């Protein structure tokens, strides 16, 4: 496993991180979840990503149990706050009340005294950014949070947050956006803003939720043991990657990546993960997995370098389907 600095901070993270969205506490049982975490640790992954909202907070509890007994200093744990986690008006958003209480809940479920990176899961237009950043500053000062990140914020929101972070001495170091061969929206504005402000990209869904593994075939129903074929996952697949999943031509184009990968001795999943890691502004790719074999396969993409000719061929194959 290779390691990178998180943006311009001193924090060192594994360039492949393991995330438990949809899987822990929902799609897979606890035994399978533990096996995936074990496989991640065996592959040298040190960096684990979750959120309070995943599986209605169960994902944090499962991850906390799976990591119990590990040397805390050897792990980089991140979680997130913003999406609703309860019925009340203050069980959501980025108010001072919810950020502080949300962090306490996450620490309890994860079974730890601090999180390494605490993310604002989305921007909250209802709350003054000053209030949110001051709450993060207090969490940092109390030692419950070491570094702060934002997820799916625009370039303009990130620049304003970075200005406040400087004033309040908050180590705002990470942006967590969606990024893959197919979804490249961050390249035009978010990445330049983050480079100016010193934030690294910790990117999610590098396989576009499994599409780039090549297992979804045009004109064929999704396998019943895949995310798109299961109750826990298919709604998220439809919502976030449905425009490719339901487009036979797009799935056909993805199949053309198969020979590009095999010529390099890679699987399609490894090619897709290596592709996001080619971007120097990316600090880590967060992989998801429903079984340990996937973790092992995907983690082997660490350290793979792709020639420009390969990147050009990927662009040529996918050109009609890339979202920028």
Sign of CA pseudo-dihedral 49, 55, 60, 64: negative
To ligand NDP, the closest distance from the beta carbon of 204 in angstroms equals: 3
Q: Binding of ligand NDP at residue 210 (CB under 6 A)?
A: yes
Cβ proximity to ligand NDP: between 40 and 127 the closer is 40
Query: Which residues fall within 8 angstroms of residue 207, CB to CB, at 6 or more apart?
Result: 180, 213, 269, 272, 273, 287, 288, 298
Report if residue 290 touches ligand NDP, rule: CB under 6 A: yes
Among 4, 11, 19, 181, binds ligand NDP (CB under 6 A): 19
Do 133 and 93 meet the contact criterion of CB atoms below 8 Å apart?
no
Is 269 a binding residue for ligand NDP by CB under 6 A? The answer is yes
DSSP annotation of 178 reads: B
CA distance 203 to 157: 18
Of 106 and 298, the one with the shorter C-beta distance to ligand NDP is: 298
Q: Which is nearer to ligand NDP, 207 or 260 (CB)?
A: 207
Neighbours of 89 (CB within 10 A): 10
Establish whether 54 is a catalytic residue: yes
Nearer to ligand NDP, 53 or 193 (CB): 53
* DSSP structure string for 77-100: EEEEE-S--SSSTTSSSS-HHHHH
Residues 161-200, mask of contacts with ligand NDP (x by CB under 6 A):
---------------x------------------------
Q: Which two tokens stand for residue 79?
A: 């979680």
Minimum CB distance to ligand NDP smaller for 59 or for 310: 59
| Count of residues interacting with ligand NDP (CB under 6 A) | 29
- State the DSSP H helix or E strand holding residue 19, giving kind and residue range, or none if neither: strand 16-19
Structure tokens at 315: 């662009």
Confirm or reject binding of residue 151 to ligand NDP (CB under 6 A). Answer: yes
205 binds ligand NDP (CB under 6 A): yes
For residues 50 to 89, the per-residue mask of contacts with ligand NDP, x marking binding by CB under 6 A and - elsewhere, is ----------------------------------------
What DSSP assignment string belongs to 200-245? EEEEB-TTGGGGGGT-S-TTSPPPTTSGGGSHHHHHHHHHHHHHHH
Q: Taking CB under 6 A as the criterion, which residues in 211-240 touch ligand NDP? A: 213, 215, 226-227, 233
The CA-based angle 132-186-268, given to 5 degrees, is 125
49 contributes a contact to ligand NDP by CB under 6 A: yes
Tokens representing 263 are 């010529």
| Interface residue with ligand NDP, options 204, 245, 260, 274 (CB under 6 A) | 204
DSSP bridge partners of 4? 13
Q: Would you count residue 289 as binding ligand NDP (CB under 6 A)?
A: yes
Packing angle, helices 248-255 and 308-318, rounded to 10 = 160
What residues make contact with ligand NDP under the rule CB under 6 A? 19-21, 23, 49, 151-152, 176, 204-210, 213, 215, 226-227, 233, 269, 286-290, 294, 297-298
Q: Which residues are catalytic?
A: 54
């Amino acid at each position: 496993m290779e390691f990178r600095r998180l943006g311009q901070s001193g924090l060192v993270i594994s360039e492949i991180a393991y995330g438990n969205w949809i899987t822990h506490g929902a799609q897979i049982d606890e035994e399978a979840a533990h096996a995936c975490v074990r496989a991640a640790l065996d592959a040298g992954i040190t960096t684990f990503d979750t959120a309070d909202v995943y599986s209605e907070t169960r994902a944090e509890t499962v991850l906390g149990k799976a990591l119990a007994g590990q040397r805390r200093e050897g792990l980089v744990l991140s979680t997130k706050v913003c999406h609703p986690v309860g019925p009340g008006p203050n069980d959501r958003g980025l108010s001072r009340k919810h950020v502080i209480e949300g962090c306490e809940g996450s620490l309890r479920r994860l079974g730890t005294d601090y999180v390494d990176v605490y993310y604002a899961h989305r921007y909250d237009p209802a709350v003054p950014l000053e209030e949110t950043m001051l709450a993060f500053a207090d969490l940092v000062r109390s030692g419950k949070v070491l570094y702060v990140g934002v997820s799916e914020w625009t370039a303009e929101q990130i620049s304003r947050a970075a200005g406040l972070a400087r004033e309040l001495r908050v180590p705002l170091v990470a942006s967590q956006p969606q990024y893959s061969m197919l979804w490249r929206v961050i390249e035009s504005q978010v990445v330049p803003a983050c480079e100016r402000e010193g934030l690294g990209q910790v990117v999610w869904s590098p396989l576009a939720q499994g599409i780039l593994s090549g297992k979804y075939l045009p004109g064929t129903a999704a396998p019943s043991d895949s995310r798109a074929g299961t109750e826990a996952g298919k709604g998220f697949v439809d919502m976030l990657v449905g425009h490719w999943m339901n487009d036979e031509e797009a799935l056909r184009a993805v199949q053309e990546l198969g020979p590009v990968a095999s010529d390099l001795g890679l699987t399609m999943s490894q090619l897709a993960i290596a592709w996001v890691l080619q971007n120097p502004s990316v600090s880590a790719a967060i992989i998801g997995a429903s079984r340990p074999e996937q973790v092992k396969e995907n983690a082997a993409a660490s350290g793979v370098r792709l020639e420009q000719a390969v990147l050009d061929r990927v662009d040529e194959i996918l050109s009609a389907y890339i979202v920028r």
